[in-house]
Structure 1
């Protein structure tokens, strides 16, 4: 080092010492509150002579002179001391901790040693860059006992990474002496010469000239070899640990004095400058210049303002990341993939599109490709970017943070959520805080992917936890947990796009779930963060779940549906941020909320959700949580099913909340002497297995332990063996077949005593639910005194059907594949009526209206409102109602209200409600309701499944206000209606001459039964009686199977005339009433329910008079 270089170094050391002096003065006067000195450590500044702009520094908190030498201004030190608006973290960091991305100074850590793993990650990211940059990692001697520092050195050695580890040894860890207590200072007084194979370079940090030469040589070697180096930089601590410490309490005064005399690198540098020819006066001038510079910087810092308070710890999302409208779905028309394959494809696409993306975790390289196969094939395609890590979660996450801080987009894999706590320090203290503590100057877009959850045999207390509440509690990170392949793909794409730290939990039991697949174009799918997904809509109760518990919520909702109870099922999927608006609006609507989660009860995320609802709901909401009790998850699977929230417990809680009686019908016992061999998987992610080879034949005698089939699962190919001696009576699978885990593959007869099989799924039996009247009914709002609703009556119904009788035989023609009986078995329809060329919807509607007016002794001028329900309008303008009115007026200028209703097959009930509401304001009025349905021209006769269903008919009904109630055949209660949006892919009726009716029968069946039952229960509940108290139920006549399904769920007789008319859309219910009302006894209560495209649905009640 020449005299000019030494003078620059001397000046930087003086600046650092002067900063310490002023900070100490200010804290002593109460103008600042925390000071941590670097006095005695200034010799580390020699490193700056050998660094390039491409090098990165992850400094020790006493590296103050090195920071000055790197270019950090004195003003920055004082801004940080005073926590003002210009400090690097906008007042968020304590005064000893800095960052400056332009100077490649990484955000300094407060938990000592946390920087070491990050330095290793940064070094891995820059190793291949030109100019051979390195990463400096400074720590104190006490820090070397931190496990993460030891891990970092091991990883740097193992991976040959260009890291300069500098241990600044001042022999103290606050008040604890470190001599004889470190890896290099041994208990017997000797000094170690190497560590993990690295030579230990001991450098006297008080002799800056010699230190400069030694450090330069070591740095040059790192650049030449790209391997790490380890320096023990021996210094003295010349002050107390901080302004809050008094070293005289624990440190001998002679030791303190000796350090001041012989351990000050500034005094040593001064002596060497004097020896080089500088004079005392020249050095005093430099000192004065330094002091003037520092005084000016201090005053500038005092002039700065207090920073604005920020209430956010994370980078704020643009609207494209969080708005519900930005969700992009897959397509049912494309090949489907499960969650595992969807995750792999998303990762592959981002590896292709962005060279900054890397994957790092245990066992993720081929041939293993992750223990669940999520990364299978990726390391082969992207060598060097998909990498196995050491068995250390803290190393995985810490290194990923380092990679992110220097510009990469790392994905860190933690094999099981149970092992996440070993990385908790790096996640919570570093990953979560860096954006906040640097005021956005540094970001760490790390995605931590974690397999989680239970619900599979073979899992136990360290392979079955989720820990999402721990992560969700931490500000600064997003937390997600998908339950479907689409959500997995969409949320992972969102995590990449958000560039925020993300904890991505994925339930391992759902990885191969064939029921929740998505299309293979996963790169196009997107799920906005903080937006939940409503899986099912209802008005009686809200379920909120995520991950594995979504299916529990759905199964519970399906069971409640049998009792006609509607459920909102919300898959939260994004846990931080979470969709407060959707949950709150649903809870306010249903007044009942159950949150179901795997994590344990106390302080689980469910607590936050119900507290938020309790604080913000505008109506009373009854809340419950179904969670894992405050215990751990046992390996015994029967015990596990009782500990984790399951169907039985969730349904019981829901039944209690809904005032529903719940009983359980036990499953039938197995046949004596018969044993079934079931499919098993090789791991907890196996939803199904493929039969590779069947090893036995029907009739063959086998022994316990004999292999019966070879199957392929996600982890391996293996043999399934017989659990008993016996004879194979039936083979229930075939080679190449995909068999669900738990499904029977072989039926055996046996004389052996059959040991009970281990439980592999929750044992709950069949639920029997029955609504009960309760005094505890939740009332959303106090019911103010209201006037009595006016009664509304309903006349007998008249109708006009198409004149062409269409039999099944006519539709079958010359077909030999199906008979009329086959159609009857599938639909219940024997015949239907279609219009001929001289008929249309208007003529039939006019005809039926004329009949009902004549029946009731009325003229069209006696009618106050005409409503036409139609799915097949002949024109949009004029409306069908106006055209029918024209047909009824016979040229007269009749003036009444008239309009159409388009609510598909539910249109009659929609029209009844509109008429009922009109008559509340006009109790002496009359409403003419007509349904006009001509569907046959919209049928594709080549689409046999649809064309056999529909017929043509029009009907007419008069509704009477209370003043004319005596003329009515029945009293009408106000119908209860609802709808939910559908894009038309399930059921659509096109405009005339623009296509044909299209329908997906299975989906329609499921929705129709569910919606009609729930609507019927709802209207009965509102009218204060049970469905079973009805005398008759008239459902929309869509298909006899739907009618039978409703009959199976309730005890009253369900009326059907579909055999003679087919499905005539909104005309079906009035056609039924045309048969029922003329002969019905007085005081019978009849329930009406309908379901139609859209989807629309509803129910009503009439009482015969």
Structure 2
């Protein structure tokens, strides 16, 4: 040992405190105040290594390393916080007490599966190898741990890559109750080994402190200088039971236990201090003071509260996710396949962030991944796109280690079938890192995994998806795109989210030409947990993801021809998944079909169905179409039988929709034989013709080389499958054709038997459908008076041009801006600017509402548009708006317009309430849109100063939705006094101007609105005195003031800066008024409009105003 007194005192402090912590922990367990204890007695000399470490160094430690943790600087109280599982502990009470972590000290989090830390340590070391301050990584394990595959792989990887990690093996000859001598790589049945994977085994007696100090210094110095690994074996004694749940006297001989006490490193440091002239009294005094420190730490920890919650398994998404708009590329400029889109995103991320590293088997050029996903990347980014050893646990484990340092590793797993080889790291480490450290550590590894079948050449161990098993792991996101735009958007989101993500990409979809995306992949974004409505309908909800989307869409198209419209939802994200989108759809259709490629039993479809049954709130008919509970066969036709096929999906859907289904097989083709294009592997859907080696008229025989095509991964020679005469060649060089499409047609020699054609696609028979009965599931009926109908949201848009009174005063010699305010209350109004129309304003308001409510038009059951200024008669404004906001082709829902002029909003609410009363689970979109400014005679003071342009959208819903409402409303009272237009008329565009008899309109409006609102109150059994606030049509301020005086109730006004926007005034006023109200307030909505029309409704403010 050294004669340096401060060094010996520092070492004694760490070792004695560790031993005292053990003693106190044992007492607390015996008192029932703690529940688990692991002793480090006999292993305290590992603390010696701390003297050779700097702040830049990293530690992946063993659960007996209390003394080393203390020497590194872990606060004493932290041991008891962990023991007692207090809220302030490093894990907020989640980790078992012996599994420590200290982000600020570069001490990585420990877990129960020993040996996992070795791969992290190697990845950690690989990440910091070239840092200028030459960090080293310490990895401590026990002798039992060295038999774990993870540890053996870690040493091999460290040697292969020259990682600066020092492996410290603490050999006490016991793995709990199993003796290890003669059973480890360093202690073979034939005797001690001198090296492992070519790495010298440095041996030291851990009780000999001087020798141990020298060994640590040598190993750390060597690794820091050479940037390569070292392996140090410490011989130690386990001086205590394995844990409080163990009694080593049951399996260790008494004389062995007695002799072991002589090998105590704490006694060794005490003896060194005595030899340095410290007397027993001084030493006892010192240790008494240390005991007091431990007691104080225990008392502090015992005063701390327990954790309030068990925490969240996943880190929250970045705040910008809440406002990010989905973008899947420009459909008009789509030229990148999924493979190309993934490659482009990875290239962009590598270019933008030097911390991004790719690791996987065969991902370097020239191969660039077995499916070509990484083609060109290792050439463009040498050293950051690397081939990995043939070990999934090494790929995942070292990637986690890299992520702990701040790198952004992307780990490639060639086939999902190989994921189980890395499941230990995925389940125990990747999924738990954030949670078990209370967010101190994160491991944002992205696992890129090809998956699925539906291709000839695949079979068992090359065709699984395994998403249900992955979704079962807390703490990781699991996604599976089915198109290039979804793939690019989800991968960009995975990089931004910084959550560990398993990115499953269907290999059969990598090169699909009909699911391409545009070149602007850097802008594409799809939030995890958001499904996509691929097709809209109300008769059946079909939920799927990945490969089966193809078969599902084909089935939906077939059923549409028979009169049944399917809502096809591509889940895209498995964990998290979009419960709301599925529930909204099922509440409309009342039928659910879930289609997935994973196993039937405990497949994720069961989770979807269970959630629907728990939360839908109404009876639902449901079925699943899945892979059978067998492995995927190699023979392609049997593979299709096993997987969800078009035929099986049709049969399930037909049963749910009450169709009789028969099949008509295609007629056999007796024509010439075809020689088809082939690919280089299962991922190829399309090839390019490079060379045609025959011409029409040539005679060929089976096996002749007839063409060369270029596939994804290689050029492919195409041989003749038939003997005969070439009749025609329908392709040319440089032409791209689908795999399986004919390259040439041959008149077969009848005397030579043809080879049996290879089946590479599902045979699509003709479906003959006959409806047994109309698909009319009985809605849940609730009596009219009992149905609470409300408005869940309102969005408004005004014209883009602000027009002040001063801008208008020049039109009249005897009027000024003040006169306008005095007579109307209006200071400015909003008129449309060039490019804005009644349609564009309506679309903007509708899209704004849908975005705010996180809905799509497929979630809406009816659209009603109120407008007195339509720009087109047919199609209606409602139909055009529904079409414009649809993201999945033509929407399937009723939509119509009404014209009640300024009363239009309340008339529309009356229609919406009728619909929802009969369909309590329905949602109705009420749109108002008016563009009046182009119809104004600028020389007519009565109209030119009043009218303005705006649109609104309101979401009306019944009780079948959990979403709260801004207000509920009673059945509106509608009335009128029809007239010819002498009082008020609005012409068609280009056929004149708005005309209004202002004096008579004023009198009629005040009288009619007061009377109509009184009638609405009477219908609800209340009086005007019960109204807390009137929200009248904003015709002009004089009318608003007059009805307020007549009723004695306050009236809300927004006309000053908006003008009279006809049917849009009440919803715009509600947007402004609701924040000033309180739950339970009664509102009187009342309007007067051309025609003449009147309407009023009583609304009650909800809790979400």
Note if 1:192 corresponds to 2:193: yes
Structure-2 residue corresponding to 1:316: 316
What secondary structure is seen at the aligned counterpart in 1 of 2:513?
coil
CA distance in 1, matches of 2:471, 2:741: 37
Report the Cα distance in structure 1 between the residues aligned to 2:331 and 2:839, rounded to whole angstroms.
Answer: 33
- How far is 1:332 from its partner? 3.3
2:223 aligns with: 222
Deviation at 1:346, TM superposition (A): 0.5
SS in 2 for 1:370: coil
* 1:779 shift after superposition: 1.6
Change (3 A) 1:322 1:665: farther
For 1:59 and 1:168, the matched residues in 2 are separated by 11
Pairing of 1:712-723 with structure 2 (within 5 A): 712-723=710-721
Partner of 1:635: 634
CA apart distance, 1:547: 0.8
1:690 — aligned with what?
A: 688
Question: Structure 1 residues 980, 5: closer, same or farther in 2, change over 3 A?
Answer: same
How many angstroms does 1:718 deviate by?
Answer: 1.5
Change (3 A) 1:981 1:515: farther
Distance change in 2, residues 1:314/1:876 (3 Å): closer
Question: Structure 1's 386 and 979: CA in aligned 2 closer, same or farther, altered over 3 A?
Answer: farther
- Of 722, 725, 728 in structure 2, the residue corresponding to residue 724 of structure 1 is 722
Equivalent-residue separation in structure 2 for 1:545 and 1:910 (angstroms): 28
Residue 60 of structure 1 corresponds to which residue in structure 2? 62
Distance in 2, matches of 1:312 and 1:609, equals: 22
> 2 CA distance for matches of 1:7 and 1:520?
65
**Equivalence for 1:248:** 249
- What is the aligned partner in structure 1 of residue 491 from structure 2? 492
- The corresponding residue for 1:153 is 155
What are the superposed Cα offsets for residues 761-812 of structure 1, whole Å, 9 maximum, x if unpaired? Answer: 11231111122227x95323147699xxxxxxxxxxxxxxxxxxxxxxxxxx
Q: 1:710 aligns with which of 705, 708, 717?
A: 708
Change (3 A) 1:305 1:767: same
Q: Residue 956 of structure 1 corresponds to which residue in structure 2?
A: none
Correspondences of 1:922-1071 after superposition (within 5 Å): none
**CA distance, structure 1, for counterparts of residue 156 and residue 387 of structure 2:** 15
Provide the residue aligned with 1:302 in structure 2. 302
Residue of structure 2 in register with 1:611 after alignment: 610
**Deviation at 1:908?**
11
Deviation at residue 328 of structure 1 after TM alignment = 2.1
Of stretches 755-764 and 93-102 in structure 1, the one that deviates more from structure 2 is: 755-764
How many angstroms does 1:758 deviate by?
Answer: 1.8
Q: 1:212, CA displacement in angstroms?
A: 0.6
Q: Report how far residue 330 of structure 1 moved.
A: 1.4
- Distance in 2 separating the partners of 1:95 and 1:978: 52
Deviations 1:263-300 (A, max 9, x none): 11000111121112211112112101110100000000
Task: Point out the more displaced range, 754-763 or 366-375.
Answer: 754-763
Is the CA contact 1:620–1:780 (under 8 Å) kept in the aligned structure 2?
Answer: no
Q: How far apart are the structure 1 equivalents of 2:644 and 2:934?
A: 52
* CA separation of 1:373 and 1:980: change in aligned 2, threshold 3 A: farther
Mapped partners of 1:157, 1:875: distance in 2? 71
Distance in 1, matches of 2:141 and 2:499, equals 28
| 1:328 to 1:992, Cα distance in 2 relative to 1, 3 A | farther
Aligned counterparts of 1:928 and 1:80: Cα–Cα separation in 2: 66
- Counterparts of 2:148 and 2:168, CA distance in 1: 15
Contact conserved, 1:903 with 1:910, CA < 8 A, in 2?
Answer: no
Residues of 1 paired with 2:17 and 2:244: CA distance? 19
3-state secondary structure, aligned to 1:676: strand
Alpha-carbon displacement from aligned partner over 1:241-273 (angstroms, at most 9, x marks no partner): 00011111111111111111x211000111121
SS for the counterpart of 1:289 is helix
Find the counterpart in structure 2 of residue 212 from structure 1.
213
Query: Which residue matches 1:568?
Result: 567
Secondary structure of 1:689 counterpart: strand
TM-score by length of 1: 0.72
CA distance in 2 between partners of 1:875 and 1:207 (Å):
89
Cα distance, 1:755 vs structure 2 = 3.2
Matches within 5 A, 1:892-931: 899=868, 905-907=874-876
Structure-2 separation of matches of 1:665 and 1:783: 45
Q: Matches of 1:905 and 1:710 in 2, distance apart? A: 55
Please list, as runs of the form range in 1=range in 2, the aligned pairs for 1:868-887 lying within 5 A after superposition.
none
Query: What is the Cα deviation at residue 756 of structure 1?
Result: 2.5
Residue matched to 2:121: 119
CA distance, structure 1, for counterparts of residue 732 and residue 897 of structure 2: 62
Check 1:442–1:658 CA distance in 2 against 1; reply closer, same or farther (3 A cut).
Answer: same
Does the residue aligned with 1:709 lie in a helix, a strand or coil?
A: strand
SS of the residue aligned with 1:705? coil
> C-alpha displacement at 1:905, in angstroms?
4.0
Mark the CA change 1:979 to 1:715 in structure 2 (over 3 Å): closer, same or farther.
Answer: farther
The 2-side partners of 1:494 and 1:390 are apart by 28
CA distance in 2, matches of 1:207, 1:195: 24
Instruction: Say if 2:654 and 2:660, in contact at 8 Å, map to a contact too.
Output: yes
TM-superposed CA distance for 1:525, in Å, is: 0.5
Change (3 A) 1:992 1:557: farther
Q: Quote the residue 1:518 is aligned against.
A: 517
Tell me if the contact between 2:136 and 2:166 (Cα under 8 Å) persists in the aligned partners: yes
Distance change in 2, residues 1:761/1:266 (3 Å) = same
Give the ranges of 4+ consecutive aligned residues of structure 1 lying more than 3 Å apart after TM superposition. 332-335, 782-786, 872-877, 897-911, 927-930, 977-982
CA displacement 1:494-532 (0-9 Å, x = unmatched): 000000000000001111111011111100110011111
Matching of residues 353-392 of structure 1 within 5 Å: 353-392=352-391
Is 1:105 the equivalent of 2:107?
A: yes
- The 3-state SS of whatever aligns with 1:326 is coil
The residue number in structure 2 matching 1:273 is 273
Q: Which residue of 2 aligns with 1:505?
A: 504
Residue in structure 1 matched with residue 96 of structure 2 by the alignment: 94
Match in the other structure for 1:450: 449
Measured after TM superposition, the shift of residue 978 of structure 1 is 12
Question: How far is 1:678 from its partner?
Answer: 1.0
Match of 1:35 among 17, 37, 50: 37
Deviations 1:69-88 (A, max 9, x none): 00001100000000001110
Aligned residue for 1:590?
589
Report if aligned partners of 1:40, 1:235 keep a CA contact under 8 Å in 2: yes
Deviation string 1:111-161 (CA, Å, 9 cap, x unpaired) is 010000010000000000012111111111001110110000000000011
- Whether the 8 Å contact between 1:6 and 1:209 is mirrored in structure 2 is no
1:779 and 2:766 correspond: no
Give the Cα–Cα distance (whole angstroms) in 1 for the partners of residues 596 and 897 of structure 2.
Answer: 52
Please give the secondary structure, in 2, of the residue aligned with 1:587: helix
CA distance in 2, matches of 1:875, 1:628: 51
Distance 1:398 1:644 in 2: 32
Q: Does structure 2 conserve the Cα–Cα contact (< 8 Å) formed by 1:697 and 1:728?
A: yes
Cα shift at 1:550: 1.2
Match of 1:767 in 2: 767
Shift of 1:682: 0.8
Counterparts of residues 340-419 of structure 1 (less than 5 Å): 340-419=339-418
State the partner residue of 2:1024. Answer: none
Mapped to 2, the partners of 1:263 and 1:478 lie a distance apart of 49
Partner in structure 1 of residue 902 of structure 2: none
Matched position secondary structure for 2:489: helix
Alignment match, 1:142: 144
Alpha-carbon RMSD: 2.8
Counterpart Cα distance in 2 of 1:234 and 1:616: 60
Q: Partners of 1:780 and 1:482 in 2: how far apart?
A: 34
Distance 1:928 1:378, change over 3 A: closer
Alpha-carbon shift at residue 874 of structure 1 (Å): 12
In the TM superposition, residue 907 of structure 1 has moved relative to its aligned partner by: 3.9
Query: Residue 738 of structure 1 aligns with which residue?
Result: 736
Q: 1-side partners of 2:869 and 2:527: how far apart?
A: 39
8 A contact 1:322–1:529 mirrored in 2: no
Give me the TM-score of the superposition, normalised by structure 2. 0.72
| Structure 1 Cα separation of the partners of residues 925 and 651 of structure 2 | 28
CA separation of 1:558 and 1:103: change in aligned 2, threshold 3 A: same
The aligned residue for residue 903 of structure 2 is none
Give the SS at the match of 2:94.
coil
| 1:435 match | 434
Separation in 2, partners of 1:574, 1:521: 22
Partner of 1:3: 5
Aligned twin of 1:623: 622
Residue 119 of structure 1 aligns to a residue whose secondary structure is helix
